[in-house]
Chains A and B, each alone.
Chain A
């Protein structure tokens, strides 16, 4: 099963969806929080996702659609 490591950034206090829970329930993707820093709804989560590639892609697409930023967990690899 493919595994993907992402950083979710929450900068909008208005996000009311239980994002990580729904990734597991609606997309059948297993999630594992590795590290997080969230205060009053603002912050980030380093998340490991395991599932079918299509499910992971769909799940992340949905996460983006509710206003959460999705990036690779370890930063850009293309440098100047």
Chain B
């Protein structure tokens, strides 16, 4: 059962009813969902969670919508893998990889959208929508298909054809917008204002964002009911990053795990690093940027939760780290070669960030680390197209042996 008390402005603390609202009328601050943690503590237990569904709905006590098996698309409860090859390469004793690239539509966005859609249905919406450059569009279209909602996805018209397919296959109404990134942003906020739809990251954003808390819960449960020493996650708006920490803290507050000491590290790409740049310059003011990065899923220039991400870094004793543009593909390849996991640019940023954190001594060999891999590489194959380099031979054994000998000699 859901234990939601109200929505509350993160800035001025004004309370709002549990409706499709995301900004405070008074100060334009973002709204967040307030839970009755005492009631949750009474209702939840390790056993109850462990016997729940194999999806993020095992944490329904902590979520703003009721568990509805009919629309559960099985988002979440993805593998947490103890790293061997990568850990050894980086010089870490206890590295864990949260492989969220194997969600139903192949990114962690299935978590946030699953929760947004469930709440949207409860609130009486029959249509769900988003503006996206990839993963979010896939998640909205897939979850809408599963839950029987209509869906509208808005995309910039210059998106690579390959990326669009992952969303189009679920048959949403797809609208391609011809314009600059800023134009697309402005148009979509206007559309969201004037249509009676649940726009996942606009009017139902408080509920949507809380889907990412499950990335914190799951890791704690999968580690045997404890929090790691460090967590490394890629950031765009910064929402997921802040919600992972909130998830860990809520498990602590409800007695499911003991003291959370996790240092939270946010990774961004050089071509779009408003959060990490503010961190490096020691300020809490985000300087919005024009994104230009190979990690297209992290390209948010004006991050809605950037300030809160900086606050989480400060509160947890963590940091922010930047992957250079020419390191992103290397990060993707490193994870694939050492662990057999094919991630996209965001994962390349996370792996590169992790590498830098170890190199600079922010993460020590004997500390436990979880790195979040949030998206799948098959959606953005352009990034690493240069790996395709097969040995081409005539169809006979001599040709094969000659080629292998030539290869060994190299």
A interface vs B, CB < 8 Å?
5, 7, 9, 11, 34-35, 37, 42-44, 46, 48, 69, 71-80
- B: contact size bracket: 35 or more
* Interface pair B156/A35, CB less than 8 Å apart: no
> Does B27 sit within 8 A of A, measured CB to CB?
yes
A77 with B202: in contact, given A5-B28, A9-B287, A72-B189 (CB under 8 Å)?
A: yes
State in angstroms the CA–CA spacing of A48 and B131 once bound together.
24
Determine how close the nearest CB of chain A comes to the CB of B382; give it in whole angstroms. 15
Which single member of B11, B287, B306 contacts A11 (CB below 8 Å)?
B287
CB of B303 within 8 A of CB of A78, answer no
B109, B304, B305, B375 — which one has the most chain A CB atoms within 10 A of its CB?
Answer: B304
A-B contacts, 12 listed (Cβ < 8 Å):
A9-B288, A11-B285, A43-B285, A44-B285, A69-B288, A75-B304, A76-B303, A77-B199, A78-B154, A79-B135, A80-B136, A80-B236
Contacts of A73 in B (CB 8 A): 23, 28
Scoring A11, A69, A71, A76 by chain B CB atoms within 10 A of each residue's CB, the highest score goes to A76
Supposing A9-B285, A35-B11, A69-B288 touch, asked if A78 and B27 sit within 8 A by C-beta, the answer is no
Is B133 a contact partner of A75 (Cβ separation < 8 A)?
no
- Which A residues lie within 8 Å of B12 (CB)? 35
Contact A74 B23 (CB under 8 A): yes
Q: B216 to nearest A CB, angstroms?
A: 20
Q: Is the CB of B188 within 8 A of A75?
A: no
Write out the residue numbers on chain A whose beta carbons fall within 8 Å of the beta carbon of B181.
78
The reply on B201 being an interface residue by CB < 8 A is yes
Contacts of A76 in B (CB 8 A): 185, 237, 300-304
Question: Which stretch (B36-44, B252-260, B291-299, B395-403) binds chain A?
Answer: B291-299
Across-interface contacts of B133 in A (CB, < 8 A): 78-80
Chain B residue with Cβ nearest A5: B28
- Asked if A77 and B283 make an inter-chain contact with CB atoms under 8 angstroms apart, the answer reads no
A-B complex: 7 closest residue pairs judged by Cβ atoms: A75-B304, A80-B297, A78-B131, A35-B27, A71-B302, A79-B136, A76-B302
Measured between alpha carbons, how far is A9 from B285 in the docked complex, in Å?
8
Q: Chain A: which residue is nearest B135 at the CB level?
A: A80
Contacts A35-B28, A35-B29, A71-B302 hold; do A77 and B189 have CB atoms under 8 A apart?
A: yes
Inter-chain contact A78/B134, CB cutoff 8 Å: no
